[in-house]
A and B are shown apart, each in its own frame.
Chain A
Amino acid sequence: MIEERFDAIVVGAGMAGNAAALTMARRGMKVLQLERGEYPGSKNVQGAILYADMMEKLIPEFREEAPLERHLVEQRFWIMDDRSHVGMHYRSDDFNEERPNRYTIIRAQFDKWFSSKVREAGATVLCETTVTELARDDRERVVGVRTDRRDGEIHADVVVLAEGVNGLLGTRAGLRARPTPDNVALAVKEMHFLPRETIEARFNLKGDEGVVIEAAGTISRGMTGMGFIYANKECISLGIGCLVADFQRTGQTPYGMLDHFKQHPSVAPLIAGSEVKEYSAHLIPEGGYKAIPQLHGEGWVVVGDAAQLNNAIHREGSNLAMTSGRIAAEAIVQVKSRREPMTATNLSLYKKMLDESFVIKDLKKYKDLPTLMHTHSQNFFLTYPQLISKAMQNFVRVDGTPKAEKEKATLKSFVKARSWTGLFGDACRFARAWR
């Protein structure tokens, strides 16, 4: 069967690969998609929040069919020190809309469903197949792939590399650099199961309403990192991640950090009595705009996490993956419909279209933030959270100290920890990077 030639080969059945394969198959292209997992999703880890808009552009009716957990009505941000958290909650009944904006999902289940749509659209999907190498001709053009299944090569006009953050193929072929310890974070995650009613009571929810909590502070012990807690129907996804370079530098262990996070007095009551059913880990691209590699070449394009298309500040990734996969596919379909070859020049249409989309525009906006967070991680993830917590405690505790004295003490603690120039510098740096 594999003797035949395909219009396109898609490596990977994650968010980016599925979006690309679906889009091309629907437009009548002959697509082969290869996935190393036993089933699509068996290798994938995510928080996970699904952004409806980007999904809707691919499968408008997904709300009726996809395995969705809860639609989000509330977002909490926590700044944590060891014993407390200062939180901001945004909850709105507006999110109980007919077509909710964000959902929690469970990736393994969602990916299986997404893949069934790709098959329905006519693509050939082959699981349990690891692509080992890109096949190139004597002019170094990519002409297909080699897998661990069969001898020989499978040929196609174009290969879509949707292999995720740890993409071996592209780096082995020299198309892009291997991720470096300072542009990827390692996240560890557990799935905590509890009765539905317990989750709803603990998170103040009714029906399919959902809540997510994003947490930063001393939980990452001065490293650049974040914790997260997402409510699903009958389980809670809970995890924490930090830059690999920080783990390497500090010798902290990821599971130690996770345990510490779970035992925090603000977190422990949420998961008390739960049954853990999975422990997973995954990398997240955090390099931002500056880490984006070459996106296309002779006979290939790269999409999703493999191309570092991930917005760590907003914790968006799957939507950038889906969108880049779809846009790459649309570009390929256009080149093909003009009956032109899949050359680097023709495929530059993908880059052009992506530049116009929110994907590149958002990443460009925050291009300086990753470096700032990294080089000042002690301040942003240790000193400030501690100061903020003390300030809040000082503010709310009633102990006979005159308010003016309290405020003075708070201000003094900030200046003592960071100095006026330090505080001013941090504020400017942050504002500049955020702009």
Chain B
Amino acid sequence: MNVEPSMRVEDKLYYNRYLVDVGHPHVKVRAHTTPSPQLLALLKVCPARCYELNDNGQVEITVDGCIECGTCRVIAEPTGDIQWSHPRGGYGVLFKFG
């Protein structure tokens, strides 16, 4: 029995409420030519699919849909591949249910 067809994550994020802090991304990817294994892992493990490969094969992040779980921090901060902070107070995802 099929309840609903699998949805794209991008569409799931529309359920959520966000206050995007335009121009202040709280997660940044270090400039690189070839992505490390840690950065490549983020393409799959980020539950909001914030990480993507660009045309040059580098990993990029768009933080707008970030649900602030911290998973990418746990994986890729120790290697210096990313910088992770909380969004400024009040910004970011705002769960209604949690």
Contact = CB atoms under 8 A, between A and B. Distances in A.
B98 interface: yes
Nearest to B48: A281
Nearest to B42: A248
Given A127-B89, A130-B86, A184-B74, A280 B9 contact: no
B95 A280 contact: yes
B95 A178 contact: no
A43 B2 CA distance: 32
A253 B41 CA distance: 10
A175 interface: no
A254 B45 contact: yes
Nearest to A35: B89
A283 B74 CA distance: 10
B7 to A, nearest CB: 7
Contacts, number: 151
Interface in A281-317: 281-283
A263 B3 contact: yes
A253 B44 contact: yes
A280 B7 contact: no
B75 A166 contact: no
A247 interface: yes
Interface stretch (A49-57, A92-100, A271-279, A372-380): A271-279
Given A43-B68, A279-B13, A148 B95 contact: no
Contacts of A276: 12, 15
Interface string B50-62: 0000000000000
A184 B48 CA distance: 18
A37 B90 contact: yes
B73 interface: yes
Nearest to B40: A251
Q: Give 5 closest A-B pairs by Cβ, nearest first.
A: A128-B90, A166-B70, A107-B98, A281-B47, A128-B89
